[in-house]
Amino acid sequence: MDFQATPSNMTTLLVVALAAVAVVFVLRKRYDSNLPLLFYFAAVVLTNMTDREIHPILLYSGLAFALMLRFEFMNKGFSKVISFFATTSLCLIIWVFLAEVFGDGTAPF
């Protein structure tokens, strides 16, 4: 575990904190919140401006699930499935970012 307090590492940790708050909002079933969408905006900007990499399928599928939760009116069962996928993608993105910050700087996948 090698942590260096560079500006890109600190910015990544701030984006991870935003993702953690977004996970809490999704777990509390606040689907009308714009916080997950704000996180995905920050994550896309961060990955485009720095050398941090997230697999595009993970990033954009998570964005699609967050958009479906925010702007669709679904029944409870389908909404639970979509929220599970949205939460899973958020947690995987958190894991990738933390592995890049506290690891050797490479993405796990």
More confident position, 105 or 46:
46
- Give the mean model confidence (pLDDT) for residues 24-47: 93
As for how many domains the chain has, the answer is 1
* pLDDT tops 90 at residue 81: yes
Please check whether residue 36 lies inside any domain of the structure: yes
pLDDT for the residue 2: 75
Domain that includes residue 83, residue range: 7-102
Please check whether residue 2 lies inside any domain of the structure: no
- Give the mean model confidence (pLDDT) for residues 53-73: 90
Q: How confident is the model at residue 1 (pLDDT cuts 50, 70, 90)?
A: low
- The two three-digit tokens of residue 98, written as one number: 């933390």
Please check whether residue 12 lies inside any domain of the structure: yes
Among left, alpha and beta (phi > 0; psi -120 to 50; other), residue 62 is alpha
The reply to whether the predicted model has a pTM over 0.75 is: yes
Contact yes or no for 83/26 (Cβ under 8 A): yes
- The two three-digit tokens of residue 3, written as one number: 């942590």
Please check whether residue 45 lies inside any domain of the structure: yes
Please check whether residue 1 lies inside any domain of the structure: no
